[in-house]
């Protein structure tokens, strides 16, 4: 019998990892993230006022997108740059494709606004037009206008004697056409709507939940501004300016002066977007585009509903508990609850602590760490990096207290934290006046790391304590962002932080060796690439390779390429990437071992976790860096290992819960689109964030139970004596 002819082996497909087709575009994937955010507003499972909040967030995100991303791309176009991105697009192509997606998003956003306002009305929360008010209500509003708004208004004429006025970024403006009763000559006037100075965008009528828009009140009381004149038209518009105004560092002798200059430049930066009301006439639209120097066909966006939807957060904040998420109060960390002793003793005697915000309190952990350091007589020095903080945070006060108590306090302030430059300049000056040593990091690099470093004289000599986090030292965002922090007195980490702060305060980089930390720009990227390569090598031998990353963005080409190679070698890769992601999962022979999940929910996912199975000797890292070229090569970031097994178990639970989420999770498809995962079994209706809240409650309850049990034993022991 003749032998059966064997089928030829299927030849493995060869992939050119430099080809643009394997890389998604940064800007387009970020816009897709906003599509997922908008969906939370479209999802009927989300409480009604929270749906309004998501609508507002998308509006704010798109404002920032035009200021930062479109602004930067327009600068490249203006400079004649045609260099292709890793995904093969020129700056001009990116703008064109982004505009197409943005217009679709705006259309969906507008449709959702109408639906949500209708649902609010059914719940007796109404935002009405001025003409819908009763006569009595109009009289009430007119009185409010004359007393609180009219004195703030500055109408500006536009004629040969009054040139076109400066239009500030994101300001609401009324273009008013007027004429005298017996004259056909039309006068054009601009009135800036003075939002943000104590008057809400949505003005409440009476004591009930009835609101009218600020600009609508002005538009219907123009007779007070233009007495005895005919109001021909009143049209709303808004401009967005480019926020990319940094000067090259070698042109500035003083960094502080350079940043202050850049802030002034941003105020007068070029226009990148004009929003106009749908009722604006073609003539007036053309006049505005000509005066503002923009393209009337591409840079003008018509808004049918509420212009500046970011202000809807005022409505989302209405106190109607049944229309919000169930109340969430951050809990004390289970090891810091109750009458826990000196925090430094807890860390030294019981080991490192992993903090999970907002499930666990920022106030009773991070702020407490600084507070105790500021008054502890054994603490000699406090060093800290400050990227963003809030006016209501106690962080600044504790640093001032420490300086007044005679401790050496050094703060590295990042002046170029986008949109927080002015606040950081203020804090820097405030700290310096109190005797705090303030520096601004390394020229050419943003200091984005999140570190507090404390030197304390313990009973057995000097000991170094630290908090290393994934989020800013900002009390407000600590309640809304999902972040991690490590409190530790590990000696090697302390040695590394001494080196790091010497680098930051000196401003230049002699050779420094780090034992455990992975700082950028010199070490972190190499460290990640080496660990990915090691995982490939271990998998070839043991077939047990596993890489899991949780990050806000995956944009760096080299890391993306390395993860493709890991998948081709058979290593399983789980990526929890909130927004921008260049990598395309699920492509046979290239990325079929890679899964990409994006989580959108009540809290903004912000923490970074990097896990390598490492042939059973597992490695977990947390820190400030996303997998972006700017984070890895142009910033000072810090990633720290989390080595205690009990803390690794906590990180494992976070990763597992998020990877199993079927309420707030979206899975990327090979073409870069996302599909929202749906619950398929009982218990899957709860999101990962809801489960993490419950896990924090259980940890605290168990700690309290054990504490009571120990207390009873102590009492019983005393009684026996």
- Is the bond into 308 cis (omega within 30 degrees of 0)? no
CA 460 to chain centre: 42
Q: Strand, helix or coil at 675?
A: strand
Within a 10 A sphere around the Cβ of 198, how many other Cβ atoms?
8
The span from the CA of 210 to the CA of 127, in Å, is 6
CB contact burial 1-30 (16+ within 10 A = b; e otherwise): eeeeeeeeeeeeeebeeeeeebbbbbbbbb
- Closest CA relative to residue 466, chosen from 355, 609, 389, 363: 355
Q: What is the DSSP letter of 677?
A: -
Q: For residue 287, which of 229, 235, 232, 226 has the smallest C-alpha distance?
A: 235
Contact 385, 523 (CB under 8 A): no
For residue 434, what are its two tokens? 């109190």
Backbone phi, psi, residue 420, to 5°: -120, 10
C-alpha to C-alpha distance for 38 and 245, rounded to whole angstroms = 30
Structure tokens at 351: 């080991």
3-state secondary structure of 99: helix
If you ran DSSP here, which 8-state letter would residue 671 be given?
A: T
Cα–Cα distance between 472 and 483 in angstroms, integer? Answer: 9
**3-state DSSP assignment of residue 275:** strand
Alpha-carbon torsion angle 480, 483, 487, 490, nearest 10: -170
Q: Residue 449 — φ and ψ, nearest 5°?
A: -70, 155
Count CA within 13 A, CB hemisphere, residue 140: 14
Ordered DSSP codes for 388-439:
---TT-SHHHHHHHHHHTT-EEEEEE-TT-TT-HHHHHHHHHHHHHTT-EEE
How many other β-carbons are positioned within 10 Å of the β-carbon of residue 502?
13
Copy the structure tokens of residue 642: 């989390």
Pairwise CA distance, residues 506 & 221, whole Å: 59
Q: What count of Cα atoms within 13 Å lies in the side-chain half-sphere of residue 255?
A: 18
Give the span between the Cα atoms of 339 and 138, in whole angstroms: 57
Query: Residue length, the chain?
Result: 721
Provide the 3-class DSSP secondary structure of residue 235: strand
* Residue 467 appears among annotated catalytic residues: no
Cβ partners under 8 Å of residue 207, min gap 6: none
Report the C-alpha gap between 63 and 419 in whole angstroms.
12
The residues near 7 (Cβ < 8 Å, ≥ 6 apart) are none
- Asked if the peptide bond before residue 358 counts as cis, ω within 30 degrees of 0, the response is yes
Which position among 324, 357, 448, 606 bears the catalytic label?
448
SS3 463: strand
Nearest CA-CA partner of 76 in 89, 60, 61:
89
Report the distance separating Cα 668 and Cα 170, nearest Å.
33
For residue 70, the 8-state DSSP code is I
Please identify every residue annotated as catalytic. Answer: 448
């Amino acid at each position: 019998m003749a032998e059966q002819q064997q089928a030829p082996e299927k030849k493995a497909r060869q992939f050119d990892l430099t080809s643009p087709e394997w890389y998604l575009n940064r800007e387009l994937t970020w816009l897709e993230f906003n599509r997922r955010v908008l969906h939370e507003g479209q999802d009927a499972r989300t409480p009604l006022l929270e749906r309004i909040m998501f609508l507002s967030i998308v509006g704010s995100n798109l404002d920032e997108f035009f200021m930062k991303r479109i602004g930067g791309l327009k600068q490249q176009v203006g400079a004649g740059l045609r260099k292709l991105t890793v995904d093969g697009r020129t700056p001009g192509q990116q703008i064109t494709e982004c505009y197409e997606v943005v217009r679709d998003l705006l259309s969906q956003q507008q449709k959702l606004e109408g639906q949500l306002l209708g649902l609010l009305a059914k719940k007796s929360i109404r935002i009405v037009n001025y003409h819908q008010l009763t006569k009595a209500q109009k009289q009430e509003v007119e009185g409010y206008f004359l007393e609180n708004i009219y004195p703030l208004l500055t109408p500006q004429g536009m004629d040969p004697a009054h040139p076109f006025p400066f239009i500030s970024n994101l300001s609401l403006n009324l273009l008013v056409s007027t004429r005298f009763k017996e004259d056909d000559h039309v006068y054009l006037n601009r009135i800036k709507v003075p939002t943000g100075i104590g008057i809400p965008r949505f003005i409440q009528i009476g004591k009930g939940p009835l609101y009218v828009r600020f600009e609508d009140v002005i538009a219907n009381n123009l007779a007070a501004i233009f007495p005895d004149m005919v109001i021909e038209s009143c049209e709303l518009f808004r401009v967005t300016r480019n926020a990319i105004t940094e000067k090259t560092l070698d042109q500035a002798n003083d960094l502080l002066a350079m940043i202050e200059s850049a802030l002034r430049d941003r105020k007068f930066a070029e226009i990148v977007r004009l929003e106009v009301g749908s009722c604006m006439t073609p003539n007036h639209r053309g006049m505005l585009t000509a005066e503002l120097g923009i393209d009337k066909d591409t840079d003008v966006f018509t808004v049918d509903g509420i212009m500046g939807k970011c202000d809807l957060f005022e409505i989302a904040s209405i106190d109607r508990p049944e229309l919000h998420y169930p109340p969430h109060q951050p809990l004390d960390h289970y090891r810091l609850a109750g009458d826990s002793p000196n925090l430094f003793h807890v860390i030294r005697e019981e080991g490192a602590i992993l903090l999970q915000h907002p499930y666990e309190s920022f106030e009773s952990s991070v702020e407490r760490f600084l507070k105790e350091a500021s008054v502890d007589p054994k603490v000699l020095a406090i060093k800290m990096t400050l990227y963003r903080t809030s006016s209501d945070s106690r962080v600044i006060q504790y640093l001032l207290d420490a300086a007044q108590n005679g401790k050496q306090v050094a703060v590295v302030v990042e002046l170029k934290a986008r949109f927080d430059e002015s606040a950081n300049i203020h804090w820097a000056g405030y700290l310096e006046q109190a005797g705090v040593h303030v520096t601004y990091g390394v020229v050419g690099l943003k200091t984005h790391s999140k570190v507090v470093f404390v030197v304390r004289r313990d009973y057995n000599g000097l000991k170094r304590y630290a908090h290393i986090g994934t989020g800013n030292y900002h009390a407000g965002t600590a309640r809304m962002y999902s972040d991690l922090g490590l409190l530790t007195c590990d000696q090697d980490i302390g040695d590394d932080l001494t080196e790091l702060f010497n680098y930051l305060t000196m401003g230049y980089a002699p050779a420094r060796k780090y034992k455990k930390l992975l700082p950028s720009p010199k070490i972190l990227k190499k460290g990640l690439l080496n660990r990915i390569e090691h995982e490939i090598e271990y998998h070839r031998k043991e077939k047990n390779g596993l890489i899991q990353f949780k990050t806000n963005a995956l944009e760096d080409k080299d890391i993306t390429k390395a993860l493709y190679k890991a998948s081709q070698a058979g290593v399983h890769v789980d990526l929890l990437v909130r927004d921008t992601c260049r990598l395309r999962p699920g492509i046979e022979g290239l990325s079929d071992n890679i899964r990409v999940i994006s989580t959108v929910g009540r809290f903004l996912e912000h923490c970074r976790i990097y896990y390598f199975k490492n042939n059973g000797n597992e490695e977990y890292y947390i820190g400030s860096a996303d997998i972006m070229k700017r984070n890895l090569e142009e910033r000072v970031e810090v990633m720290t290992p989390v080595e205690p097994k009990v803390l690794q178990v906590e990180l494992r639970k976070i990763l597992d819960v998020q990877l199993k989420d079927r309420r707030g999770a979206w899975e990327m498809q090979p073409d870069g689109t996302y599909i929202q995962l749906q619950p398929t079994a009982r218990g899957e209706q709860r999101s990962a964030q809801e489960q993490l809240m419950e896990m924090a409650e259980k940890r605290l309850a168990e700690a309290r139970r054990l504490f009571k049990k120990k207390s009873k034993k102590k009492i019983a022991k005393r009684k026996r004596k």
